[in-house]
Each structure stands twice: as C-alpha cells, then as structure tokens.
Amino acid sequence: MEDVMLEQARQVLRMEAEAVLEQVERIDEHFKAAVEMIMACPGRTVITGMGKSGIIGRKMAATLASTGTPSFYLHPAEGIHGDLGMVTEGDVVIALSNSGETGEVLHILPSLRRIGAKLIAMVGNPNSTLAKNSDIVLNVGVTREACPLGLAPTSSTTAALAYGDALALALLSKRKFTASQFAVFHPGGSLGRKLLLTVENIMHSGTENPLVKADISVQDALFVITDKGLGAVSVVDDDNKMLGVLTDGDIRRGLSKGVDFLKRPVTELMTASPKTITKEKLAAQALHIMESNRPKPITVLPVVDAENHVIGLLHMTDLVRQGVV
C-alpha cells in the first residue's frame, strides 16, 4: 500500500513537470507582445486573480516587483468594493483565471476598461469570456490536472507559476536589471548581506591593519602577526605600497630551514605580489577570490587603493561572521 502511495506522489511530480514543459511552446508572439506592453507601461503591473490563481498572482507580483517591474496584487473581490481606485490609466493588469470565467474577475472588467488600463489574460481557456475581453491572451492551459479527481488546481497552478517566472525574468533581461539594483530591494537577511556588504565594511584598517616593512626580520613579523591576531601581515615598502604577504603558515613551513630563518628578512619568506582587492568591491567577490585561489584557497586578502597602498586586511573569519559564507 505504501509503495502505491509513493508511486502516486511520483506521478504527481511527473504530471506537473509535463504541464510546465507544455508552456515552452507558448513562449511565442503573444508572450513577446505582453513583455513589450509591460515595458511600455508608464504605470505599474497589477496582478489579479481569485482563489488558487490569486495565490499565484501574489507570487507573480512579488517576483516582478523585486526584479525591476513595479507591481502589486489586487484582490478582485476587494476591487469591486473600492480597491479598483489603486488602478490607473497607465497601468497594465494581468488577470489570472484557469477557466477564464471566474465571476469576481469578470465583474471588474467593465471598470478596468473605463479606467483605461491595458489587460493581459493568463487563462487555461483562450476562448473564455476573460480572454475575449483582453488586449493580449496568454494561454497557460494544461492537458490534465495532477489531482486524480481532476478538481483541485495542481498542474494548472504550477504551469501558471512557471509562466509568470518566465515573464518576470524576460522583463528583468529586457531592463538589463543588475545585481546591485536587486540588492536595493533585498537589504535584509543573508541575501542582503551578500549583495550589499562591501570589503570596506568589514576589513581591518588603521591600527588593526598588520603592516611590516620589507627590511624587518621574520621574527619581528611574527610578533606583529601574534599581536594583531589575523594570522598574517602585509609587507610594504617605505610608501606603504604592497610587496607581499607573510602568513603564520609560511613561518611554520619555514621551520624546515632551521631556527636561523627567523633572523632572515621577511622578503625571503613572503608571498610576493599576492592577490588583493579594493575596498569598494563586494564582500562576496572577496570570498570568490579567496576560495578560487590555486593551488589552494587563501584565508587572508590585503586591501589596496588605486595606487597599490595597503589600507586593510580581510580574513575569511570576517566573512563567516557576517554571513557571507
């Protein structure tokens, strides 16, 4: 009995996947016309739908708004009781209804026409009342629902959700929407930290920045490494320009040369011309540089200015503490 249940669950996923793949052929001139209409819209993109279609509509509105297309969800039942006042002549309304005959949605059509907003129908029936009263029709119909009773919206809502994502990301591409713009709308949480946090925000600078001159000994450099607690020092010339990096790992490996190596100048043991980064770069980019270093990742990254002066040091643990990793 349990095996039957598991197979039924797998079949649901297969059917819903097939429903999404059906939509690939629907990315056509109607889809293109919808993108162009929204791009030319001087107002906002208003999404409306009832029941399960309304839930998909809320997600569509949220995705559009976060990817550069000003958008909000309008509940059709609230619309006929005053919320249609949020819709303006310059808006585009996308109405979702699998049947195309949802009463609450049809009831707001005359007012939408009077307001002058453009109307795009996302329907499962291109011959429906909603479709016939729209400027553009997007057919998102599916062959069958995954529900064995053929009643609960399953495959149809999954297909509509995927089609909505395709529309949102086509608009993102058309607008040349960037990661930095995306970050403005996502300042909170780990996503915001990854997109907004810069090297300058977390680097060790000033008295916390471990620096040594090229003529000091490895032993004296070790004292600085121990004092600053970052496991490394930047080696600089008299103008504080980058020459190299000495890490505690370099010193441990130097022990094979005998104790006398501690008296040698740091330039004999340091890594010359190391990887560096500038302060305005994203912390996520610093992480990429550190993790992608070959032959093995590095844990410290000197921060330099435009003239190669060392102004700070970034440690992997700083990125971990800030949630970038």
What are 161-208's pLDDT values in tens digits?
A: 999 999 999 999 999 998 778 877 777 766 776 777 899 999 999 999
Indicate if the alpha-carbon torsion angle 36, 37, 43, 44 is positive or negative: negative
Under DSSP, the state recorded for 58 is H
- Answering whether pTM is above 0.75, one says no
Residue 177, CB half-sphere, CA atoms under 13 Å: how many? Answer: 21
d(CA 38, CA 47) in angstroms, rounded, equals 12
- Three-state DSSP class for 81? coil
> Among 99, 92, 110, which Cα is nearest to 51's?
99
Contact 128, 100 (CB under 8 A): yes
Q: In this predicted structure, what is the pLDDT of residue 189?
A: 66
Q: In this predicted structure, what is the pLDDT of residue 97?
A: 97
Q: In this predicted structure, what is the pLDDT of residue 190?
A: 67
d(CA 147, CA 12) in angstroms, rounded, equals 8
- Three-state DSSP class for 257? helix
Contact 275, 298 (CB under 8 A): yes
Spans of all domains in the chain: 2-177, 199-321
> Among 282, 29, 300, which Cα is nearest to 179's?
282
108 Cβ neighbours under 8 A, 6+ residues apart: 48, 76, 79, 80, 84
Residue ranges for the chain with pLDDT beneath 70: 1, 189-190, 193, 258-259
2-177 maps to CATH 3.40.50.720: no
Structure tokens at 157: 């809502």
Indicate if the alpha-carbon torsion angle 285, 287, 290, 293 is positive or negative: negative
Give kind and range of the element (H or E) at residue 309: none
CATH architecture for segment(s) 199-321: Roll (3.10)
